[in-house]
Amino acid sequence: MHIYLDNAATTPLDPEVIEVMVQTMQNEYGNPSSIHSHGRQAKTIVEKARKTIAQLLNAAPAEIFFTSGGTEADNMAIVRSIEAFGITHAITSPIEHHAVLHTLEELAKTGKIHLDLLRVDDKGNIDLTHLEELLAHNPRTLVSLMHANNELGNLTDIQRVSEICQQYQAIFHSDTVQTMGHYPHNLSQMKIDFITGAGHKFHGPKGVGFLYINSNNKIKPLIFGGAQERNMRGGTENVYGIAGLAKALEIAYRDMEQHQSYIQGLKSYMIEELTKAIPTIQFNGNIEPQQSLYTVLNVSLPCTNMSDMLLFNLDISGISASGGSACSSGSDIGSHVLRAIQADPDRPSVRFSFSKNNTKEEIDHVVAKLKEICDSE
Per residue in 68-96, pLDDT (tens digit) is 999 999 999 999 999 999 999 999 999 99
Asked if residue 203 and residue 313 are part of one domain, the reply reads no
* DSSP letter for each residue of 42-105: HHHHHHHHHHHHHHHHT--GGGEEEESSHHHHHHHHHHHHHHHTT--EEEE-TTS-HHHHHHHH
Q: Is residue 172 within 8 Å of 163, Cβ to Cβ?
A: no
Nearest to 152 by CA among 331, 367, 324: 324
Q: CATH number of the domain at 344, please.
A: 3.90.1150.10
- Tally of domains within the chain: 2
pLDDT of residue 329: 42
Q: CATH number of the domain at 155, please.
A: 3.40.640.10
Active site residue 327: yes
Asked if residue 303 and residue 232 are part of one domain, the reply reads no
Once rounded to an integer, what is the mean pLDDT over residues 151-175?
A: 98
pLDDT of residue 324: 64
Asked if residue 88 and residue 52 are part of one domain, the reply reads yes
Q: Is residue 305 predicted with pLDDT exceeding 90?
A: no
Q: Report d(CA 309, CA 325) in Å as an integer.
A: 12
Domain end residue (candidates: 196, 228, 254): 254
Three-class secondary structure of residue 6 per DSSP: strand
Mean pLDDT computed over every residue of the chain: 95
Asked if residue 291 and residue 248 are part of one domain, the reply reads no
Once rounded to an integer, what is the mean pLDDT over residues 216-231?
A: 96
State the pTM of this model. 0.96
Half-sphere exposure of 48 toward its Cβ, with a 13 Å CA cutoff?
14
Once rounded to an integer, what is the mean pLDDT over residues 52-57?
A: 98
Domain end residue (candidates: 205, 227, 254): 254
pLDDT of residue 376: 79
pLDDT of residue 309: 84
Asked if residue 148 and residue 40 are part of one domain, the reply reads yes
pLDDT tens digits for range 55-67 = 999 999 999 999 9
Q: Is residue 205 within 8 Å of 199, Cβ to Cβ?
A: yes
Asked if residue 237 and residue 276 are part of one domain, the reply reads no
Q: Report d(CA 10, CA 205) in Å as an integer.
A: 9
Q: Is residue 306 predicted with pLDDT exceeding 80?
A: no
Q: Is residue 327 predicted with pLDDT exceeding 70?
A: no
Q: Is residue 180 within 8 Å of 56, Cβ to Cβ?
A: no
Asked if residue 243 and residue 100 are part of one domain, the reply reads yes
Asked if residue 91 and residue 20 are part of one domain, the reply reads yes
Domain end residue (candidates: 202, 232, 254): 254
Q: Is residue 295 predicted with pLDDT exceeding 90?
A: yes
Q: Is residue 149 predicted with pLDDT exceeding 50?
A: yes
Q: Is residue 132 predicted with pLDDT exceeding 70?
A: yes
Asked if residue 290 and residue 243 are part of one domain, the reply reads no
Continuous H helices in the chain = 15-27, 37-57, 70-84, 98-109, 128-136, 158-167, 228-231, 239-254, 256-277, 310-316, 336-340, 360-375
Q: Is residue 188 within 8 Å of 208, Cβ to Cβ?
A: no
In percent, the amount of the chain with pLDDT more than 70 equals: 97
Three-class secondary structure of residue 218 per DSSP: coil
Query: Which residue in the list 165, 303, 327, 374 is annotated as catalytic?
Result: 327
Which residues constitute the domain of residue 90? Answer: 15-254
Asked if residue 235 and residue 110 are part of one domain, the reply reads yes
Q: Is residue 303 predicted with pLDDT exceeding 70?
A: yes
Asked if residue 330 and residue 305 are part of one domain, the reply reads yes
Q: Report d(CA 116, CA 270) in Å as an integer.
A: 37
pLDDT of residue 346: 86
Where does the pLDDT of residue 179 fall: very low under 50, low under 70, confident under 90, or very high at 90 and above?
very high
Asked if residue 185 and residue 44 are part of one domain, the reply reads yes
Nearest to 141 by CA among 184, 88, 178: 88
